[in-house]
Amino acid sequence: MAIKYIPEPFRIKAVEPIRVLSADERSRKIQEANFNLFYLRSEDCYIDLLTDSGTNAMSQSQWAGVVRGDEAYAGASSYFKLIEAGQDIFGHAYIQPVHQGRAGEKVLFPLLLKKGQVAISNMFFDTTRAHVELAGARCVDCVVEDAKHPSRRVRFKGNMDISKLERAIAEHGAQNVGLIVITITNNSAGGQPVSIQNIREVAAVARRYGIPVNIDAARYAENAFFIQRDEPEFQNKSIKEIVREMFRYGDTFTMSAKKDAIVNMGGLIGVKEAESPLVLKIKANCISYEGFYTYGGLAGRDLEALSIGLYEGVDENYLRYRIGQVEYLASRLDDAGIAYQSPVGGHGVFVDAAALFPQIPYHEFPGQVLAVELYREAGIRTCDIGSYMLGNHPDTGEQLRADFEFTRLAIPRRVYTQAHVDLMADALIEVKQRAASITRGYRIKWEPPILRHFQAHLELAR
């Protein structure tokens, strides 16, 4: 039986009309889009679950903040408000606004990584990986084995495997490990949380070898919610106390504010120690790449909305509803026998498309097949997180095989209602009923050299 839906802790004041195209029109649109959902126009999607990044609905306080935003070039009041909020919530002495998460990576990583070094993470997000590599270093993922098995319902599947971490340090030599990155929640593994116990163990290893720790903190609030719920030591701690505890173990953090800080654009860098020599270098890089360090590539109104969103993201009523909404969708899939990365993570449901389409091989992209079928079925836009997204081996050009073939239903924050969520589940159930009749996947008709999934053209295979 599906779990109870937790009612929205808000009511709706401004509406954005959406409409559903006919089945024939949807079929035509997806064909015109070369079966790549990034080419669809937003207005042709009834429910848009392509990402939870920057697609959040802001509150009335945030919109009021947009009007109050101080647009001064230097020293705007909105800047100081944001810095105070960041220091209060994360406990880091230095807070640097940037225009989004990858801008933070671009500013910070070259200061920490040298050519020939490696960086180790539970799992790197794709832009984070790209900026490690642009800094001349290479990435090593050390996620726990359970993360690779969608049906294993164990807690904290986003954790780092400490013995893998130790082995990776031994293999490369501690002096060649420039950075350890703890990604919370672990986006690439399905929004899976990381426990405080694991963060402490990783930090202890890092300290022992003198390796700095950066927290990739896009979903700091969702991660704290899971810790409060599932880690006994923290049952009676507030979300704010838990966030403080998580960030105590990071020397620095980089954050895409487009996720848990509930804004449409923004990011942050944090440095724990005020006297760190990094601070001056961050300011210098920021001035070169992003803009003066008191605005960091954002308008004053964005700084203002972000300073408010940081607090709204850690509101416990909001988080209970937020995670509850995702869990409600997952429980409807349980009832229908549809497999997904379980237990469900924080920001969406990652459906196991390989289990739904066992007849479709990885090189015909089961995750993309399901994404196309969901659009055809109900005008729902999702994306593949599997071999299609992973791409080809950089040296041999051979199609790589991903650990998973997921279709991600990423849920924007405060945007959709229970009726929309029921439609997502109903559409998946409809597709499951005709899944065996879908015998052909897709092949690449044209692809760019890197990050192909955004732009590739596909056609039916065989």
Ligand X SMILES: *Cc1c(COP(=O)(O)O)cnc(C)c1O
Query: Hey, which residues are catalytic here?
Result: 73, 125-126, 216, 218, 259, 453
Closer residue to ligand X, CB minimum distance, 33 or 218: 218
Count each helix (H run) and each strand (E run) in the chain, helices first: 16, 14
- Contact present, 374 and 366 (Cβ < 8 Å): no
CB of 1 to ligand X, least distance (A): 32
Site residues for ligand X per CB under 6 A? 53, 100-102, 125, 127-128, 183, 187, 216, 218, 256, 258-259, 267
Closer residue to ligand X, CB minimum distance, 184 or 372: 184
CB of 225 to ligand X, least distance (A): 16
Question: Using CA atoms, how far apart are residues 173 and 168, in angstroms rounded to an integer?
Answer: 8
Instruction: Kindly report the number of other CB atoms within 10 A of residue 6's CB atom.
Output: 16
CB of 297 to ligand X, least distance (A): 11
CB of 107 to ligand X, least distance (A): 12
Closer residue to ligand X, CB minimum distance, 255 or 356: 255
Angle CA 226–420–261, to nearest 5: 40
DSSP letter at 436 equals G
Closer residue to ligand X, CB minimum distance, 124 or 362: 124
DSSP letter at 76 equals -
Instruction: Kindly report the number of other CB atoms within 10 A of residue 448's CB atom.
Output: 11
- Contact present, 308 and 59 (Cβ < 8 Å): yes
Closer residue to ligand X, CB minimum distance, 216 or 364: 216
Question: Using CA atoms, how far apart are residues 338 and 393, in angstroms rounded to an integer?
Answer: 31
* Closest chain position to ligand X (CB): 101
Three-state SS string over 15-48 comes to CCCCCCCCHHHHHHHHHHCCCCHHHCCHHHCCEE
Contacts of 217 (CB under 8 A, 6+ apart): 90, 184, 247, 250, 253, 254, 255
Closer residue to ligand X, CB minimum distance, 192 or 325: 192
CB of 265 to ligand X, least distance (A): 8
- Contact present, 225 and 68 (Cβ < 8 Å): no
CB of 261 to ligand X, least distance (A): 10
